């Protein structure tokens, strides 16, 4: 086993023998796959920036309002009460990721993950522009602090900080919505000092990740990356080196690999794909482009490094379907069907009625007993509804606090009411009562609660 093979099995490739970080000076990729990836990244970036401003029925396309426990996905609002539907959606998504990874490896990482998109398509491109390609960057970093170096470093980091601030604010739009964001912007910073501080801390974190920590997120931190070992097998289609064609390697050997090491120089995680599929490979395809250009120069067919499975290289077997991903597809289909069913069958409104905490019962004129309740109703339709609450289990009277009950589309109504019942109708000190929520005399929902008496 060669020294490089031993070291790649022994420790992460971007650490030296003492455990210190080795800075990766990746060569700027060039080629058909890189062009495809760049175009795809424009769509991902556009989606990321545009989503909070796209409206469906007046709601943002996606809103993840954790503070209010309100989630909007493609115009449909989900409240905390919809946790089963959200859990099914989440499970379907996880199952989809597993299925996708089993079949295509870390394709997501190289092509759609925000970490890669921002690092490779935004921050790294700025670095290429200001500091040049890998050799120039290496020389600049190793050289003395000249006027040129100070200017280049200052310009790069200034732009990195500005982009980190923009990124944080765009993320914020996904969580608080554009209206609230513009409202915060119009208010003095002093009134929102905590929000402003959080924004600065998150921006500083992004700046640290993209300015310094970089590929270590993919190789050491990301849990999805760590899962590759259990998800991939010999049938998964990943970026692979065709060792049957390439070996024995060397400039004057029979194998097609001339051992130029260009595929390593272009790799953003600095690995040698010729050692086989590795956890650090994010399937970015930079080595495919680089090797294809070497093959062209040496008048060999392209594809020495390509998307293929271990089985594909060893036996020429190319089908992506196997028992494992068929079984995962069935599970995904079941989960997703269940999600669609629960989504379509969810009630028009969802009511919660609870006696006001800390209050027992009140004795009124004659033999009338009263209890105070808090009511919360969520409207899951796109219609504005007049609402009415009636007691359907007993004879009694309901007096609402405040104005009439009305709820706008996909909104929430919260109020308090007092229920009066004659003591003679009670079953003791704790009587089960049932309410009905009506809209235009149509019963929408029944809700059971308790009524305390003497
Ligand atoms: S770029 Fe291609 S030819 Fe050069 S070392 Fe890598 S696999 Fe071999
Ligand atoms: S081995 Fe190739 S595909 Fe994998 S991360 Fe490196 S350059 Fe990208």
Task: Write the pLDDT tens digit of every residue in 364-392.
Answer: 988 999 999 999 998 887 788 888 999 99
The answer, yes or no, to whether any atom of ligand 2 lies below 6 A from the CB of 267, is yes
What is the C-alpha to C-alpha distance for residues 77 and 415, in angstroms, rounded to an integer? Answer: 21
pLDDT tens, position by position, 153-172:
999 999 999 999 999 999 99
Could you tell me the CA-to-CA distances from 63 to 1, 49, 55 in Å, in that order?
A: 53, 13, 11
Cα of 277 from ligand 2 centre, angstroms: 10
Angle at 300 between CA 295 and CA 303, to 5 degrees: 60
Angle at 189 between CA 187 and CA 193, to 5 degrees: 120
29 CA closest ligand 2 atom index: 7
**Ligand 2 atom 7 nearest Cα:** 267
Tokens of 208: 């640290």
Tens place of pLDDT per residue across the chain (454 aa): 455 555 666 666 777 777 788 899 999 999 999 999 999 999 999 999 999 999 887 788 898 988 878 888 887 788 877 888 989 999 999 999 899 999 998 888 999 999 999 999 999 999 999 999 999 999 999 999 999 999 999 999 999 999 999 999 999 999 998 888 999 989 988 888 988 999 999 999 999 999 999 999 998 899 888 888 888 888 899 999 999 999 999 888 889 999 999 999 999 999 999 999 888 899 999 999 999 999 999 999 999 999 999 999 998 877 788 888 899 999 999 999 999 999 888 888 889 999 998 888 999 988 999 999 999 998 887 788 888 999 999 999 999 887 678 887 778 888 999 999 999 999 888 999 999 999 888 999 999 999 999 8
Average of per-residue pLDDT values in the chain: 90
* pLDDT score recorded for residue 12: 67
Cα of 237 from ligand 2 centre, angstroms: 14
Longest dimension (CA), the chain: 108
Is residue 280 exposed (0-12), middle (13-18) or buried (19+ Cβ within 10 Å)? buried
Q: How many helices (H) and strands (E) does the chain have?
A: 18, 17
pLDDT tens, position by position, 88-141:
999 999 999 899 999 998 888 999 999 999 999 999 999 999 999 999 999 999
Could you tell me the CA-to-CA distances from 432 to 93, 423, 425 in Å, in that order?
A: 41, 14, 11
Nearest residue to 353 (alpha-carbon basis) of 393, 324, 381: 393
Could you tell me the CA-to-CA distances from 142 to 18, 20, 23, 208, 438 in Å, in that order?
A: 20, 17, 11, 21, 75
What is the C-alpha to C-alpha distance for residues 163 and 122, in angstroms, rounded to an integer? Answer: 9
Is the dihedral angle over the CA atoms 211, 216, 221, 224 positive or is it negative?
positive
* pLDDT score recorded for residue 273: 95
Which ligand is the nearest neighbour of the Cα of 257?
Answer: 1
Helical (H) or strand (E) element with 446? strand 442-452
Which ligand is the nearest neighbour of the Cα of 26?
Answer: 2
Which ligand is the nearest neighbour of the Cα of 271?
Answer: 2
């Amino acid at each position: 086993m060669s020294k490089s093979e031993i070291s790649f099995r022994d420790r992460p490739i971007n650490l030296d023998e003492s455990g210190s970080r080795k800075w990766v000076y990746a060569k700027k990729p060039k080629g058909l796959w890189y062009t495809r990836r760049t175009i795809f990244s424009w769509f991902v970036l556009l989606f990321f920036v545009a989503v909070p401003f796209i409206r469906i029925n007046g709601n943002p396309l996606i809103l993840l309002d954790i503070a209010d426990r309100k989630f909007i996905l493609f115009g449909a609002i989900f409240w905390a009460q919809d946790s089963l539907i959200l859990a099914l959606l989440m499970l379907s998504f996880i199952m989809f990721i597993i299925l996708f990874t089993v079949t295509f490896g870390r394709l997501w990482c190289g092509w759609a993950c925000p970490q890669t998109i921002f690092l490779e398509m935004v921050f790294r491109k700025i670095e290429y522009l200001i500091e040049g390609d890998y050799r120039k960057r290496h020389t600049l970093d190793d050289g003395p602090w000249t006027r040129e170096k100070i200017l280049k470093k200052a310009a790069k980091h200034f732009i990195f900080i500005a982009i980190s601030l923009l990124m944080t604010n765009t993320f914020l739009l996904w969580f608080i919505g554009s209206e609230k964001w513009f409202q915060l912007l119009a208010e003095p910073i002093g009134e929102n000092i905590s929000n402003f501080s959080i924004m600065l801390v998150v921006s500083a974190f992004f700046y640290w990740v993209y300015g310094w920590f970089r590929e270590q997120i993919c190789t050491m931190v990301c849990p999805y990356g760590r899962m590759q070992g259990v998800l991939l097998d010999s049938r998964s289609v990943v970026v692979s080196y065709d060792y049957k064609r390439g070996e024995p390697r060397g400039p004057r050997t029979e194998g097609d690999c001339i051992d130029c090491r260009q595929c390593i120089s272009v790799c953003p995680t600095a690995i040698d794909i010729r050692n086989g599929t590795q956890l650090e490979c994010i399937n970015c395809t930079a080595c495919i482009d680089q090797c294809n250009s070497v093959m062209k120069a040496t008048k060999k067919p392209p594809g020495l490094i390509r998307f293929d499975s271990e089985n594909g290289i060893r036996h020429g077997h190319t089908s992506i379907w196997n028992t494992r991903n068929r079984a995962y597809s069935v599970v995904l289909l079941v989960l997703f069907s269940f999600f669609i069913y629960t989504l379509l069958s969810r009630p028009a409104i969802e009511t919660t009625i609870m006696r006001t905490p800390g209050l027992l019962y009140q004795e009124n004129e004659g033999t009338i007993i009263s209890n105070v309740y808090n009511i919360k109703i969520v409207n899951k339709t796109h219609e504005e509804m007049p609402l009415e609450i009636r007691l359907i289990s007993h004879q009694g009277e309901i007096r609402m606090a405040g104005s009439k009950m009305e709820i706008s589309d996909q909104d929430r109504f919260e109020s308090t009411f007092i229920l009066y019942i004659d003591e003679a109708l009670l079953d003791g000190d704790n009587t089960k009562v049932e309410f009905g929520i009506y809209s235009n005399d149509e019963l929408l929902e029944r809700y059971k609660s308790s009524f305390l008496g003497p």
